[in-house]
Amino acid sequence: MKLLLSSALISLSLGSLAQNTVVATDEIALNQTANHAHSEIAIIPEPVTITKQDGHFKLPESILIQTSKPTELKQAIAFLQERLSVPTGYFVSSTAAASNTANIRLVLTERNDAAIGAEGYHLQVTPQQITITANKPAGIFYGVQTLMQLLPKEIESKEEVKDVTWKVPCVNITDYPRLGWRGLMFDVARHFFTKDEVKQYIDAMVRYKYNILHLHLTDDEGWRIEIKGYPKLTEVGAWNVKRVGSFGNFIPTKPEEPRNYGGFYTQEDLKELVAYAKERFVNILPEVDVPGHSLAAVASYPELSCTPDAVNYKVRSGERIMDWSRGVPPLAMVDNTLCPANEKVYEFLDTVVSQVAKIFPFEYMHMGGDEAPHNFWEKTPQILELMKRENLKNMHQVQSYFERRLEKIVAKHGKRFMAWDEVLEGGVSQSTAVMSWRDMKYGVQAAKNKHEVVMSPTQYAYLDYMQADEITEPKVYKGLRLSKTYQFDPVPDGVDPKYIKGGQGNLWTEQVYNIRQAEYQTWPRGFALAESVWSPKEKKNWNNFFARTEQHFERLAIAETKYAPSVYDPIFTVKRTADGKLLVTLDKEVEDLDIYYSFDNSFPDHFYPKYTEPLVVPIDANMLRVITYRGKKPIGRMMNMPIEELNKRAPMKK
Ligand code: ACM
């Protein structure tokens, strides 16, 4: 997502988010425990049914896992061995022989248990034994993830932890997912992430029962897949000039600046990632984003363009190349497209698809299709000839011509064709699977037209968006708070659920320069999305979810996975009083917090004035500082809001 909004629009959208948040919180203000109350059972995503029983199972110092199917269940066994031994320092072994003394039993059903399907499980914990039963290895693996969440949080530690009583509350859990496609998209094109970093990302997502990792592998800023026969894609296309700051507005690069920032995956690297993900029941969906977002490919092979000036193009380093002022599709300042009227493009794509299809066993291949600018095509003689020859009426139909040919290539190599929702505009074949991003309504429309749909709308699922006010977040196009993400329902009313494969969150990385920030953007919104795609819709409850979220913050901290504390930051809304004064409202996403503030430039603590009603900004003030507390404990970040910024957000009427 690259829609660039002015700061006035950002503040407007945050203003409307604030209102949404208030409504959401009112709707679910029933049946609440205090957010910070620690419950012994705090599972994310919330299981279908949990029955708590008396007592605990205490891990012995020598833990025996028993299963009669050790080959089928090797992933679950390996996971348990690693996770149960490292933090406890205990000895963990497994046996295939029937055993009366086994502590953990993993049971694959002999007869299919229809209630739990291919990914569900039963987990029973008694004082004597833990039993996980499932129809398939995936279900056992998810049962194991739930078991980890029933253990003390220190089970997430990467080293031994002393003085913990390693016990599990006795429970009966039956659990299975609401939807089959539970994805996260990780953009490794805008910024490159190493193979180990991608594994780290996978490790975090499997805790929350995600089963699809969509890798966005090509874009204007980098081509990340080795393709045999096209070596320049990775010699040239994988590298740009390192810049930091506000992406999109970097100073244009100079010829003498080294192009040594980036990287790519060899085909062997990608196969290793596929295997790593598969061992954790995650499929990798590869995305090659064409015909737009293709500057890295064009800079490597200018003959793929129909624009003669492409010989001078360079891989983008974050400088401005698009004019977004009139929306999508943007006006391109350089032609970052593969030319639909150029036969070399189809030869190229045939080679790329054939190799990508062999690396990734997943049945779908995502071929992008988003935000392709049409303004260069409008002036390209070859395109105009193509339109005449093929009777194409407009540029959407030109893109559709391209997409239909591409679908045939993808099908020839044994894959199902998936693309972003723009491809619907010129008409595509019904077998195209649509990933809906611009708005839920495109996914709804696609499902009505009997396309398979994955919902990943900006309104709920864009993990690159800011989680709180831009004064505390790295600035991106728009805001999306946790409570709003939690409202995501991938199967809206009025849609035939059989067309909705599932949902996913998308982490674009223009502004994400390192893996710690990738984690920060993903969690806790990744919890909310996981619950939206796994848990029964009727069980969703914000306050209950947030109480569990806080416990998982502690788990992530021990696992050394970064998360955003932005949910504790108040929401600023500003307007003018009748006599022109600034009036600031502070809303909270988390009810049981207090907000303290100052206008005198000093740092507020819980001895300062407490926010109880909208604040009138004093005449000479130049800074509003706020911080949230729970009781006597500071919990939010110090937020420094310049009055100048408030003035911009509520300009004086002329
Ligand atoms: C997208 O965000 N351009 C799919």
What does the pLDDT look like over 45-64, one tens digit per residue? Answer: 999 999 999 999 999 999 99
* Residues pairing with 574 in the sheet: 584
Confidence of residue 27 (pLDDT cuts 50, 70, 90): very low
Q: Is the pLDDT of residue 180 over 70?
A: yes
Residues 447-490 have pLDDT tens digits of 999 999 999 999 999 999 999 999 999 999 899 999 999 999 99
Confidence of residue 326 (pLDDT cuts 50, 70, 90): confident
Q: Is the pLDDT of residue 14 over 70?
A: no
Closest by CA to 183, choosing from 86, 290, 282, is 282
With a CB cutoff of 8 Å and minimum separation 6, the contacts of 130 are 57, 103, 104, 105, 123, 124, 147, 168
What is the model's pLDDT at position 541?
A: 97
Distance from C-alpha of 71 to C-alpha of 163, rounded to nearest angstrom: 35
Q: What percent of the chain has pLDDT over 70?
A: 94
Rounded average pLDDT over 381-402: 97
The answer to whether 264 and 234 have CB atoms below 8 angstroms apart is yes
Residues 493-527 have pLDDT tens digits of 999 999 999 999 999 999 999 999 999 999 999 99
Q: Is the pLDDT of residue 355 over 60?
A: yes
With a CB cutoff of 8 Å and minimum separation 6, the contacts of 434 are 418, 419, 420, 421, 423, 424, 442, 443, 446, 451, 452, 453, 454
What is the model's pLDDT at position 18?
A: 36
From atom 2 of ligand 1, which residue's Cα is the shortest distance away? 1
Task: Pick from 508, 509, 510, 511 the residue to mutate for probing ligand 1's pocket: most ligand atoms within 8 Å of its CB.
Answer: 508
Query: Ligand 1 in contact with 372 (CB < 6 A)?
Result: no
Query: Ligand 1 in contact with 1 (CB < 6 A)?
Result: yes
Distance from residue 419's CA to the centre of ligand 1 (Å):
10
Task: Pick from 190, 293, 366, 420 the residue to mutate for probing ligand 1's pocket: most ligand atoms within 8 Å of its CB.
Answer: 420
1 CA: nearest ligand 1 atom: 2
Residues 186-215 have pLDDT tens digits of 999 999 999 999 999 999 999 999 999 999
Tell me the DSSP string of 327-387.
-SSPEESS--S--TT-HHHHHHHHHHHHHHHHH--SSEEEEE--S---TTGGG-HHHHHHH
Q: Is the pLDDT of residue 168 over 90?
A: yes
pLDDT averaged over every residue in the chain: 93
Confidence of residue 34 (pLDDT cuts 50, 70, 90): very low
- Residue appearing with tokens 């003035």: 647
What is the model's pLDDT at position 150?
A: 98
What is the model's pLDDT at position 37?
A: 59
pTM of the model: 0.94
Confidence of residue 241 (pLDDT cuts 50, 70, 90): very high
Query: Ligand 1 in contact with 645 (CB < 6 A)?
Result: no
Residue 411, SS3 per DSSP: helix
Q: What percent of the chain has pLDDT over 90?
A: 91
Q: Is the pLDDT of residue 20 over 90?
A: no
Q: Is the pLDDT of residue 33 over 60?
A: no
Residues 242-295 have pLDDT tens digits of 999 989 999 999 999 999 999 999 999 999 999 999 999 999 999 999 999 999
Query: Ligand 1 in contact with 287 (CB < 6 A)?
Result: no
Helix intervals (H) in 462-514? 482-486
What is the model's pLDDT at position 206?
A: 98
Residue 320, SS3 per DSSP: coil
420 CA: nearest ligand 1 atom: 4
508 CA: nearest ligand 1 atom: 2
Distance from residue 370's CA to the centre of ligand 1 (Å):
6
Rounded to 5 degrees, φ, ψ at 15 are -60, -45
Task: Pick from 371, 421, 509 the residue to mutate for probing ligand 1's pocket: most ligand atoms within 8 Å of its CB.
Answer: 371
* Residues pairing with 203 in the sheet: none
* Domains of the chain, CATH where assigned: 49-175 (3.30.379.10), 181-559 (3.20.20.80), 569-649 (2.60.40)
**Which token pair is 324?**
């977004």
Q: Is the pLDDT of residue 5 over 60?
A: no
Residue 538, SS3 per DSSP: helix
SS (H, E, C) 303-316: HHCCCHHHHHCCCC
Q: For residue 130, what are the CA distances in angstroms to 41, 57, 66, 505?
A: 16, 8, 10, 33
Confidence of residue 330 (pLDDT cuts 50, 70, 90): confident
- The residues that are catalytic are 371
371 CA: nearest ligand 1 atom: 3
Q: Is the pLDDT of residue 2 over 90?
A: no
Distance from residue 11's CA to the centre of ligand 1 (Å):
22
Query: Ligand 1 in contact with 477 (CB < 6 A)?
Result: no
Q: For residue 456, what are the CA distances in angstroms to 30, 451, 503, 507?
A: 29, 15, 6, 11
Residues 420-455 have pLDDT tens digits of 999 999 889 999 999 999 999 999 999 999 999 999
